[in-house]
Amino acid sequence: MASDAALALPPAPEPMRPRVLLVGTYLAAGGAFMAIMGLVGLYLSARSHALAAGTAWLPDGGQIPLTPSNLAFGTMLLSAITVTWAVDAVGKNDRAMAYLALGMTLLFGLSVVNLTVFLYKVSGIGVDTPMGLLFYVVTGAHLVMMIAGMVYVLAMTLRVLAGDYRGPNDREGVVAAAVFWYATVAAHAVIWLAIYITK
């Protein structure tokens, strides 16, 4: 009887769970990024046609100040670092650092929303011009993506707080939230260059 137990096969490993959340996030982030890139393309095309016709692109009294847009871009870059830090901290099961990194990512996200709203107030651009309409559509779409990313990061923060994610093999949700956040940062970089800098 004892010899039969020694020859028994080891228990089967746990089956790999399909990474549905991660794959879905890649698809959603890619779709949101491409939608915003399409809007940026419309903006650049309209600007090119207006400048080729010899008309001014910015309406009278309108301006796009560089200070809030540059601060927003720098803050987005910092948030990319903190969300990476959060993924690493969850992988090392360092709960305190994970909470700090996720909280800082959310704080940076709120800062960018605040800076964008401030930019809207000081720009003096109305929606009654093609430039104004496209400006608000592109940046507003990015704000929606940003708020969705913040909700995603907040949901994963609550799951980390509940103990759902710990260790290098158990952090899919945090990695997925980081992927969506990276797409948001990339979209902001394109908007920063195409709209805020080149005007």
Superfamily of domain 21-197: Cytochrome c oxidase, subunit III, four-helix bundle (1.20.120.80)
Please give the pLDDT value at position 68: 95
Please give the pLDDT value at position 4: 60
Please give the pLDDT value at position 3: 59
CA distances from 142 to 38, 94, 118, 185 (A): 12, 32, 15, 10
Please give the pLDDT value at position 6: 62
Please give the pLDDT value at position 100: 96
Residue numbers in the chain where pLDDT is lower than 50: none
Please give the pLDDT value at position 60: 86
CA distances from 186 to 52, 56, 66, 179, 191 (A): 29, 29, 19, 11, 9
Q: So where are the chain's domains?
A: 21-197
Please give the pLDDT value at position 1: 52
